Chains A and B, each alone.
Chain A
Amino acid sequence: MSRVIALAGNPNCGKTTLFNRLTGSSQKVGNWPGVTIDRKEGRIKAIGAVLVDLPGIYSLSPYSPEEVVSRDFLLDSRPDAIINIVDATNMERNLYLTSQILDMGIPTVIALNMMDTVRRDGTVIDTEKLSKALGCRVVGISALKGEGMDELLEAISSAGETPKPVRLSDPLEKSISEISGKLEGKVPDGHLRWYSVKALERDVLAIERIGESWEEISEIIDDLEKAEDDESDSLVASERYSSISDVVVSSVKTKRASGGYTTSDRIDRIVTNRWLGLPIFAGVMFLVYYISITTVGGWGTDWVNDVFFGEWTIPGAAAWLESMAVDPVLTAFIVDGLIAGVGAVLGFLPQMLVLFVLLVILEDSGYMARIAFVMDRVFRRFGLSGKSFIPILIGTGCGVPGIMASRTIESERDRRITAMTTTFIPCSAKLPIIALIAGALFGGSALVALASYFIGVLAILLSGIILKKWPSLSGTPSEFIMELPPYHIPGVATVIRSTFEKGWAFVRKAGTFILLACGIIWFLSAFDWSMSMVGDINDSMLADIGNAITWIFVPLGWGDEWQFSVGTITGLLAKENVVGTFGVLFGFSEVAESGDEIWPIIGAMLTPIAGFSFLAFNLLCAPCFAAIGAMRRELGTWKATGAAVLYQCLLAYAVSMVIFQIGSLLMYGTFGIWTVAAFATVALAAYILVSKEPFARARQKISEAAA
């Protein structure tokens, strides 16, 4: 079996760059069990070892999922060696993690990254001295430029010695050795120091593993705390930092006077300036949107949809299949079902790739952290993160890249809620529905579009409050103690690689599901129950299904006409299908994008209130299959994705019912059992929003099931 080596380090220290350098193209991306954190693994060919990339972390505390995943891996899978990458321009904080890693007793090599920057600043680092003080090998490298790689590889392949832990102050060391005495034989030998220190910190997960000896240990800690007049966790943290500080002072000679302003500081003073901060942010967001959705990305998507699939692939395949005398049913299945289905996925790709390039640049340059810094105040009020703004903005163009942009949010809970709510904002494919309803029922008023965006934003913000109260998504509010990394110019290779990885993951994972779903809807719309193909969608199974379920929508004001139900179902393929489906259902072979031809028909069928209710439902309910596929990727399981779609549909139903019933009461004075239901819904929503714990019973059930 080949040696397993773990790569650990802080966020923003060049870990990904080093990982790519060491493993080249042999990478496997998966998930850590139970969380949606990427688990990357690759082979270091030169020394025949497997490199496991741990998430970027600041500490091995038991709180964030990233930290838990990392420490469980180091404790339970016990890799043969650890490469600890350390940012040489920010040694103190980086070595704090190092001092915890060294406690684990696993052979460790420190890769001191960004040595090129350090040299440029005129700082001199004595790696020999550092190595002696830390009791493990230290190799100076530059992951970006590929410096020091040979020496690093040599150091890893010869690493086998148990490192010497960083010594804390005498009183602490005395308590640690007393605790070690109690724990000896109860934890694995190599982990004795680690468990002793963690027990001293009263670390919850360590206590769980220690079990019965805890009471005696607790007394040792009490004595120490009394003697030192401070809590033990605070003692350990400050002692770690002061030991490291001594190490850094003795081995680093810096030229820069402390407290001076660097280029990065100067950029930051403008970018997050009290007055310029918001305008600059708005400008950057406009640029991202303009380049990825309106211009470059939009052109690419239009080209793929209209030319690549519309003019080449679909007619080409149809002609070729015809020339081969393939059965027309099979031809229709391949062309209209499969190829059109693939097209539905790949059409998004150009926009997504352009967007990803821009997002990686924002992230890598350090600006993304400033976006969170500037916007945090607004979104925190609604239980979301400052970074939630980016997915929502992108979502106005297309929900698929919008959902995927939620990846940049660190807090898993904020990320999940953002991924679940991003599609409430009207995306560009929903604009034809807005145009249809505005044109047919509101004389083309621009207020309809404005109201649509307003409903979307409101749905996101209120959902933020509601979902934060749901047991599996709640907890203590996430803190905002976040590093603001120095600005730097992102590496071209990193940008390309990261963009490609994200794009490919989407095509592969979402592609299979979307293809299947599109195939099914196509099948239902092209065949009748005797499995013979129909020329007119009015005779298809889909029409019957629409008829059968349309009663559900009667309280929303548009259930009396089955065509609206069918339109809503075909909207699951792509929202722009809704208008096209109406065209077919009302007997037009082709309709303009905004459906001018069918305006009079819809105008005769629906009241303006019912039309607006239909619009609201289609804006908020389950998004298209491509977006559901993207949600699946961010949420991790089908169960969570199903719950998210259910929530979206329920919310859409509630909002549309309230609009129609209360709207009708105010406009036409109609009153019935559903009017009462609408008022009850409003009351329930108000209760959920105001109450501290509206889902107490669900929480109880979950904890009972767990026990």
Chain B
Amino acid sequence: MATLREVACGGSAKVMRISAQGPMRKRIMDMGITKGCTVIVRKVAPLGDPMEVCVRGYELSLRKSEAEAIEVE
């Protein structure tokens, strides 16, 4: 299954599952990335990581390793 990491800048995707565990899993969901919501990828930092996404109307940054734990379609 595709992950949020693979979504191109400017593209958007629907979240299917959070495969992260522990605090990171909780944190991802607390910040509003939950099953069924839409995430827009805004840009990637100048050095290639982390990335900035728009979710529930606000801007959120997360590392690519964290985006990998978010399955999308």
Interface residues of A (CB under 8 A from B): 58-59, 61, 63-64, 90, 92-93, 96, 230, 233-234, 237-238, 241-242, 258-259, 268-269, 272-275, 277-278, 369, 372-374, 376-378, 380, 476, 479-486
A61 and B26 form a contact (CB under 8 A): yes
- Whole-angstrom distance between the alpha carbons of A59 and B60 in the complex? 15
Judge whether A233 and B57 touch: CB under 8 Å.
no
Please determine whether B34 and A272 come into contact, CB atoms closer than 8 angstroms.
no
B14 within 8 Å of A (CB atoms): no
Considering the complex, give the chain B residue whose CB is closest to the CB of A203: B26
Given contact pairs A476-B22, A484-B59, A241 touches B37 in the complex (Cβ within 8 A): yes
Contact B23 A272 (CB under 8 A): no
CB-CB < 8 A to B43: which residues of A? Answer: 269, 272, 274
Q: Which of B17, B35, B46, B60 contacts A482, CB < 8 Å?
A: B60
Minimum distance in angstroms from A84 CB to a CB of chain B: 16
- The contact sample of 27 A-B pairs, CB cut-off 8 A, is A59-B30, A63-B23, A63-B27, A90-B57, A92-B56, A233-B29, A234-B29, A242-B36, A272-B43, A272-B52, A274-B43, A274-B44, A274-B46, A278-B46, A373-B45, A376-B63, A377-B47, A377-B50, A479-B23, A479-B62, A479-B66, A480-B66, A481-B28, A481-B60, A481-B62, A484-B61, A485-B59
Tell me whether B63 and A479 are in contact (CB under 8 A). Answer: yes
What's the Cα separation between A58 and B36 when bound, in Å?
20
B2 close to chain A: CB less than 8 A: no
Q: Which residue of B30, B36, B58 has the most chain A CB atoms within 10 A of its CB atom?
A: B30
Specify which chain A residues have a CB less than 8 angstroms from the CB of B11 in the assembled complex. none
Residues of B close to A58: CB separation below 8 A: 30-31
Asked if residues A481 and B45 are in contact (CB atoms below 8 Å), the reply is no
Kindly provide the distance from the CB of B57 to the nearest chain A CB, expressed in whole angstroms.
6
- A238-B36, A480-B66 are known contacts; what are 12 more A-B pairs with Cβ within 8 Å? A59-B30, A64-B23, A230-B35, A234-B35, A272-B46, A274-B46, A275-B46, A278-B47, A479-B23, A481-B28, A481-B66, A482-B62
* Chain A residues closer than 8 Å to B22, beta-carbon distance: 476
A482 touches B32 (CB 8 A): no
> A481 vs B50: C-alpha distance in the bound complex, in angstroms?
9
**Residues in B whose Cβ lies below 8 Å from that of A96:** 30, 32
Q: What distance in Å separates the Cβ of B29 from its nearest Cβ neighbour in chain A?
A: 4
Residues of chain B within 8 A of A238, CB atoms compared: 29, 34-37
Q: A234-B18, A241-B34 are in contact. Are A479 and B29 (CB under 8 A)?
A: no
Residue of B nearest to A67 (CB): B30
Quick one: which of A59, A258, A377, A479 contacts B45, CB cutoff 8 A?
A377
Q: Is the CB of A233 within 8 A of B59?
A: no
Decide: A481 and B58 in contact? CB cutoff 8 A. no
B61 close to A373 (CB less than 8 A): yes
B36/A481 in contact, CB under 8 A: no
In the complex the two chains form, what is the Cα distance from A275 to B49 in whole Å?
A: 14
A381 to chain B, nearest CB (A): 11
Interface centre among A59, A238, A259 (most CB of B within 10 A): A238
Q: Which residues of A contact B24 (CB under 8 A)?
A: 476, 479, 481
The reply to whether B59 and A376 contact each other, CB–CB distance below 8 Å, is no
B32 touches A93 (CB 8 A): yes
What residues of chain B lie closer than 8 Å to A268, measured between beta carbons?
A: 59
Interchain CA distance A608-B56 in the complex, whole Å: 62
Q: Give Cα distance in the complex from A83 to B48, angstroms.
A: 41
User: Given that A92-B32, A373-B50 are known contacts, is A481 also in contact with B57, CB under 8 Å in the complex?
Assistant: no
Closest to B31 in A: A481
Interface: B25 (CB within 8 A): yes
Shortest distance from the beta carbon of B5 to any chain A beta carbon, whole Å: 14
**A484/B46 in contact, CB under 8 A:** no
Does the CB pair B34–A92 fall under 8 Å?
no
Q: Which residue of B lies closest to A100 (CB)?
A: B30
Q: Which residues of B contact A377 (CB under 8 A)?
A: 45, 47-50
Residue among B34, B46, B52 with the highest chain A CB neighbour number at 10 A: B46
Question: Which residue of chain B lies nearest to A483 when distances are taken between CB atoms in the complex?
Answer: B60
Asked whether B40 is an interface residue with its Cβ less than 8 Å from the other chain, the reply is yes
Q: B50 to chain A: closest CB distance in Å?
A: 6
